[in-house]
Structure 1
C-alpha cells in the first residue's frame, strides 16, 4: 500500500480513535473533541472498515479495546505525537503574525476599503485583544506591544513618523425626525443651531476638537453644547425626543432608532469635519515580506483620501 492510497485512514479518524481509547466512552470522547456523538461514531466505523478489523467491543454502558485496537493505539499515538512535533517545528520557523490595534472610535466593519483589507489579510495578522482609543494604541506602539495601529487621529504628528493617511471618515449629523431639516438631503449646521449638540471634552482628542472648533466658529450663531452621556444609545434616545443632536462618524451611525435620522452635511462642512484615519507602525518593525506587503497594500489600494 502506498502513501497515496485512498483507503489510508485520515488524521481525523485517528484522532477520534485515540480520544475514544483515552475516554473509554464515545460520549466522553465527543465532549473532549467538541463534536456531537453521531459524527464520531461514523468516523470510527469508517476507520474499522478501512482497516477491516473491529477496534472496540461496546454496548450501551462499556467500551473495550480489542487486541487489534490495543496494538493500533500504541502506533497511532506515536504517529500523532510525531505529527505534532513536525507541525510545531515548522510553525516556529514561520514569521510571527503582526499584531494590529484598531481604535474603538470607529467601526471598521463599515469602512469598505479597510474591511476589505481585514478580509484579505485576516489569516496572516493578529488583532490586538484590547479595545483602546487612538491615544492608548500609540502608547502600545511605543512599548512594541503591537506592530500596526489604525488610529483616528493623534497629537503632535511628525512627518517622520511611520504613518500613512489612508482614509477620511465623514461625520453624519443625527437629527430628530421632527426637525424641519430632517427632510433635506444635506444639512447646513447654520440651520440647526436651535438644537444643542452632544459634544466631547477637548482633552479626549485635542487635535480633532480644535479642527471642529474652526468650523463651528464660522457659523452665524454659536452652537449650544451638551455634555456627552455615558453611551450613544442614551444620546440617540434624547435626540429622538427633540432634546439635542449629534455628530457621529459614518461607520458608527448604524443604530436604527425611531424618531432619529442621519444626514450628510453640506460639502464644505463635510470635508472640514472629516476624521483622518492613519495606519501607524512601530519604529522597530521587523523587516520581512509580510510587513512590506501590508504597507504596500495600504499605499497602493487605499486611495480614498
Structure 2
C-alpha cells in the first residue's frame, strides 16, 4: 500500500477515533466533536473496514479498546500531534506577526482577560521580550521596534487616535498577618496608617502617582512612605516582619510569603485605586488583517 492508496484512513476518521478513545464513549466523543452520534459511528465503522480489524468492543454502556485499537491509538496520537506541529510551523512561517510590548507593571499571565487574548492570537503575535516600563515601551513604539504596546501610564493620550482604554487593574493591599486588619475581609486605608507604605517615585509613573495621591489626601491621617526596595520579594519579607505594607496590582499579588496577607480595599478605594491599561499602536501602523483583528478584539470586548 502506498501513500496514494484510497484504502488509507482519512484524517477525519483518525480524529474521530482518538475522540472515542479519550471519551471512552461514542456519545462523549460526539459531544467533544460537536457532531451528532450517527456520522461518528459511520466514520468509525468505515475506519474498521479499511483496516480490516475491530477497534472497539462496545455495548450500551461501555466502550473498550481491542488490542489492535490500543496499538492504533498510540501511533495515531503521535501522527496527529506531528501533523499539528507541521501545520503550525508552516502557518507561522507565512504569517508576519504583530509585535506587542507589555509593561512590567502588571503580570499579564495572571489576568484571565489578557491570557485569553494571547492564547487566541498566539500564532499571529510575538511578545516583545524586554522588561520595559510603560514609558520605555512608548519610546519603542516611536522607534517602530514594536507594533502595539500595553501600557499603564499614557498622559499624552488622544482619545481619538491610536489608543484604547481596555482594562482597569485593581490594587491589592499587602499587610503583615500580625496586623489587626489582616482579619478583615476588606480593609480601609484609614485603619492602617500606623504602617509605612512602600511607594514609588513620582517620575516613574506620574499619572498613576497623582491618581493615588488624590485618594491618600482623603484619609484622616497621612500615610508614611518608605522608598521601594530593589524587588518585591525583599519588600514582602519586610512586610512579614511588620515593618511596612504594600499596594500591588492584583495580578502581581501572587507570591506566597509566610506572615503576609493580601486584602481587597473597601469599595470606593478599590475602585479609585486602579491601574488603567491602554492598548497603543504606532501612528503609521499598516492596517494588515492581523492588526485590524487585534484592535477589533479590544474594541468589542
Normalised by the size of structure 1, how large is the TM-score?
0.69
In structure 2, what is the equivalent of residue 114 of structure 1?
114
Residue 225 in 1 paired to residue 187 in 2? no
Q: Distance in 2 between matches of 1:208 and 1:145?
A: 26
Assess if the C-alpha contact under 8 Å between 1:182 and 1:261 holds in 2: yes
In structure 1, what is the equivalent of residue 273 of structure 2?
273
SS in 1 for 2:300: helix
Instruction: Report how many aligned residue pairs link the two structures.
Output: 221
SS in 2 for 1:170: strand
RMSD (CA atoms): 2.0
SS in 2 for 1:254: coil
Q: Superposition pairs for residues 237-252 of structure 1, below 5 Å?
A: 237-252=237-252
1:161 CA drift (Å): 3.1
In structure 1, what is the equivalent of residue 294 of structure 2?
294
Q: Superposition pairs for residues 142-221 of structure 1, below 5 Å?
A: 142-221=142-221
Q: Distance in 2 between matches of 1:157 and 1:96?
A: 28
The change in CA–CA distance for 1:241 and 1:6 in structure 2 (over 3 A counts) is farther
SS in 1 for 2:278: strand
Q: Distance in 2 between matches of 1:189 and 1:91?
A: 49
1:155 CA drift (Å): 2.2
1:91 CA drift (Å): 7.7
The change in CA–CA distance for 1:166 and 1:232 in structure 2 (over 3 A counts) is same
Residue 258 in 1 paired to residue 245 in 2? no
Q: Distance in 1 between matches of 2:92 and 2:124?
A: 13
In structure 2, what is the equivalent of residue 235 of structure 1?
235
1:222 CA drift (Å): 0.3
SS in 2 for 1:222: coil
Q: Superposition pairs for residues 89-108 of structure 1, below 5 Å?
A: 94-108=94-108
Q: Distance in 2 between matches of 1:119 and 1:95?
A: 16
Unmatched segments (≥5 aa) in structure 2: 9-88
1:215 CA drift (Å): 0.4
Q: Distance in 1 between matches of 2:256 and 2:222?
A: 29
Q: Distance in 1 between matches of 2:280 and 2:223?
A: 34
* 1:149-194 deviations in Å (ceiling 9; x for gaps): 1111222222233111111000000000000000000000000000
1:3 CA drift (Å): 5.3
Q: Distance in 1 between matches of 2:166 and 2:270?
A: 18
The higher radius of gyration belongs to 1
Q: Distance in 2 between matches of 1:109 and 1:226?
A: 29
In structure 2, what is the equivalent of residue 70 of structure 1?
none
Assess if the C-alpha contact under 8 Å between 1:154 and 1:205 holds in 2: no
The change in CA–CA distance for 1:190 and 1:109 in structure 2 (over 3 A counts) is same
Unmatched segments (≥5 aa) in structure 1: 9-86
The change in CA–CA distance for 1:6 and 1:146 in structure 2 (over 3 A counts) is farther
Moved over 6 A (4+): none
Assess if the C-alpha contact under 8 Å between 2:92 and 2:124 holds in 1: no
Residue 285 in 1 paired to residue 285 in 2? yes
